[in-house]
Structure 1
Amino acid sequence: MKITNYKKYFVSQLSSRYPTEEILSFFYILAEVFLNKTRFQLSLDTNATLTEIQHQQFENGLQRLKQNEPIQYIVGVTEFYGIPFKVTPATLIPRPETEELVDWILNSEINIQHSELKILDIGTGSGCIAISLAKNLTTASVSAIDFSKEALTIAAGNAKNNKVEVSFHQIDVLATNSLPDKYDIIVSNPPYVRELEKKMMQANVTEYEPSSALFVEDDNPFIFYEKITYLAKKHLTSNGLLYFEINEYLSEELMQLIESIGFSGVICKKDMFGKPRMIRCKLK
């Protein structure tokens, strides 16, 4: 079958579930993996055909998309901050707003003060935050923790594939009263979506991504933030900074909590869509 004909079929099969541009994006992502061809290359070769194996690969991908499975899990890889990352259902799929958090850290004034930073990423998942920081701060010492052994295995592989050194530790942040060292920067993108917000989320998130990395109880939405802030109070250096990705609906309450624990200079930053999604603060 000609690829151009299959593309039309592919779009028609998913048209009731996704916008056309998103379907085409899915198709070209699969094409890069299965055919090793870019969108531009395919546009130049209008007579290209699918082999039987390639056709079966596309059909498998199509059926998984019909079941709402994220395209990143289907191809097993995504890009974050210009770096490739392997992802599986044991890890969250990195989001653009988390890239903004990394960018904020990389442009922080603390990096001007001294270059040999010690950085800790709490709840690292795929390792996207820690590895991106290590890739761009080559003299920094970067560590990361997560409670999930499976996630840490993926993260360690991503660090190796991207040729950076990150020290990974299996630690349940809710069950510990200490961290491995003192740090200049502590950053976390912890679970923060309340159960009541689940109904507003798409099925490809709620049905496939790890719920333990996403959701918190409605009556205790700050459980991770509170514990991490207390740990940061003990383990940040005197000029250290604490960064969080946050729930856009709870920014004011969270800022008040962080201040009450002993932090000052609490800044809430909006993402590209104008939503309050990041916090930075320092010890009083």
Structure 2
Amino acid sequence: MTLRDIRVLFRQELSNDYTHSEIDNLLKITMDKECGKVFNSYELNTDIEIDKVDFQKIQKTLSLLKTKMPYQYIFGEADFYGLSFIVNEHTLIPRPETEELVELSIGKIKEKFGKRKFSVLDIGTGSGVISIIIKKHFPDADIIAVDISQQALAVARENALRHNTEIEFCEVDVLSENLNDNFDVIISNPPYIGLKEEKELSEIVRRYEPRHALFPLSEDDLIFYKRIALLAHNCLNDNGAILLEINQKWGKETCALFDGFAKSILIKDLSGNDRFVVVEK
């Protein structure tokens, strides 16, 4: 079996769900992850021979791809902000918009705290990617990352160990529990897709990503942001900052929840959608 033959096979089996360029990318990822071999787009259309053992691995992956399972779950890893993180069915696959949230957070932290030590609360940490990247950039920061899911926290702890970062992970339901500590920075990418928007999501997301991390599971789409605003009045230190990823449909409404603070601004993502709220106390 040649690489060209495998490319034809991938396109035959996956063309109903992916474009040719997406399929070629999936093949390159499969060859890298399963066979430890890196090929460019040109090489995919050549007579490079693939041995029987590697072909069996490729067939197994292809069968999973045909079910529309995201390749990040198939291989158990996702790239985020230049690093590789463990993910599974208990954690969201990190999105480019969240990389933008991290970038905003790093900039705001540098602006407000310089080289001074500070503390961070990460609400809804999931796989821990936000906290770990922040800790990588600010090794002296004290970070507490909370989530309602024990399974997600187990993944986050594995990721922290993988990237040699010391973070305190805690199982907390922020909608019902109070926080005893105070923080200089609160960062959150909480569940924000309204239940009425579920049909707008791709079948892949609906089938495989954890519902508790996607949807507030409440008739109130802004319930998490209202709770964060309430908590921040008590646990955010003076001169502190809040950085949030939000639902683009509720940009102005989300920002207005923080009118009682010194400053709150709505920021668009690279696609031009209302995506972030940055608050200062």
User: Which TM-score tier does this pair reach, normalised by the shorter chain?
Assistant: over 0.9
TM normalised by structure 2 equals 0.94
In structure 2, stretches of 5+ residues that fail to align are none
Q: Following superposition of structure 1 onto structure 2, how do residues 13-92 of structure 1 map, counting pairs within 5 Å?
A: 13-40=13-40, 43=43, 46-92=46-92
Moved over 6 A (4+): none
- The 1:250/1:125 distance shift into structure 2, 3 A limit, reads same
- 2: distance between equivalents of 1:195 and 1:105? 28
Superposed CA deviations along residues 42-85 of structure 1, whole A, max 9, x for unmatched, are 82994433333322222222122221111110111011011110
Match of 1:281 in 2: 279
Superposed CA deviations along residues 106-161 of structure 1, whole A, max 9, x for unmatched, are 11154544431111111000101000111111221222011111101100110111
The range that moved more, 181-190 or 4-13, is 4-13
Q: Following superposition of structure 1 onto structure 2, how do residues 178-197 of structure 1 map, counting pairs within 5 Å?
A: 178-179=179-180, 181-197=181-197
- 2: distance between equivalents of 1:39 and 1:54? 14
How many residues align? The count is 280
Match of 1:271 in 2: 269
TM normalised by structure 1 equals 0.93
Superposed CA deviations along residues 85-116 of structure 1, whole A, max 9, x for unmatched, are 01000000000000000000111154544431
- 1: distance between equivalents of 2:123 and 2:111? 19
Match of 1:121 in 2: 122
The range that moved more, 184-193 or 47-56, is 47-56
Q: Secondary structure at the match of 2:247?
A: coil
- The two structures, once aligned, show a CA RMSD in angstroms of 1.8
Q: Secondary structure at the match of 2:17?
A: coil
Any conservation in 1 of the 2:188–2:245 contact (CA below 8 Å)?
yes
Q: Following superposition of structure 1 onto structure 2, how do residues 226-237 of structure 1 map, counting pairs within 5 Å?
A: 226-237=226-237
Identical counterparts, % of pairs: 36
Q: Following superposition of structure 1 onto structure 2, how do residues 181-220 of structure 1 map, counting pairs within 5 Å?
A: 181-217=181-217, 219-220=219-220
Q: Secondary structure at the match of 2:55?
A: helix
